[in-house]
């Protein structure tokens, strides 16, 4: 009646419920191959499906951090450029500086989280989570 895949998913779901009941911080997600896996919270980097970044790798987020850092540096130059001509600073550039700096910090933080999670998954032999982050729990559970 049940396929082998459904039996494995049921077993993972039961183990996940038991671990959560025991006080462990766990996240139940589909893996890239579509099977369920109960991940310890420290193995989840970007937490797929939480409305965060659509980048799925730590190095991809690192690239975004570098681009945001360049934008921040450019905005600092814009801010101080009028001083060379004896004018007052371009105060409007501070908005760009604040936005770029905040996004750089955010992107670096997410990149580090995903890198650590990737290393932990490799160390523990856990599969990579699906990028959708969606889990279908059977209604009979």
Whether 137 is in a domain gets the answer no
CA-to-CA dists, residue 105 to 65, 108, 112, angstroms: 8, 5, 11
Residue 139's pLDDT band, with cuts at 50, 70 and 90, is very low
Residues 68-118: tens digit of each pLDDT? 999 999 999 999 999 999 999 999 889 999 999 999 999 999 999 999 999
Considering only CA atoms, which of 103, 123, 108, 120 is closest in space to residue 27?
120
DSSP state of 70: H
Distance CA 75, CA 42 (A): 35
Our count of domains for the chain comes to 1
Whether 34 is in a domain gets the answer yes
Look up the pTM and report it.
Answer: 0.74
Structural domain boundaries, residue 12: 4-124
């Amino acid at each position: 009646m049940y396929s082998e895949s459904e039996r494995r998913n049921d077993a993972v779901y039961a183990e996940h419920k038991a671990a959560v009941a025991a006080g462990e911080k766990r996240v139940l997600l589909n893996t890239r191959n579509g099977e369920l896996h109960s991940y310890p919270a420290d193995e989840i980097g970007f937490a797929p499906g939480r409305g965060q970044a659509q980048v799925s790798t730590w190095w991809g987020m690192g690239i975004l951090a570098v681009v945001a850092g360049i934008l921040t540096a450019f905005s600092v130059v814009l801010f101080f450029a009028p001083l060379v001509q004896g004018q007052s600073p371009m105060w409007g550039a501070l908005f760009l500086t604040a936005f770029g700096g905040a996004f750089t910090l955010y992107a670096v933080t997410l990149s580090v989280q995903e890198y650590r999670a990737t290393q932990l998954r490799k160390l523990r032999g856990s599969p990579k989570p699906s990028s959708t982050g969606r889990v279908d729990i059977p209604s009979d559970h």
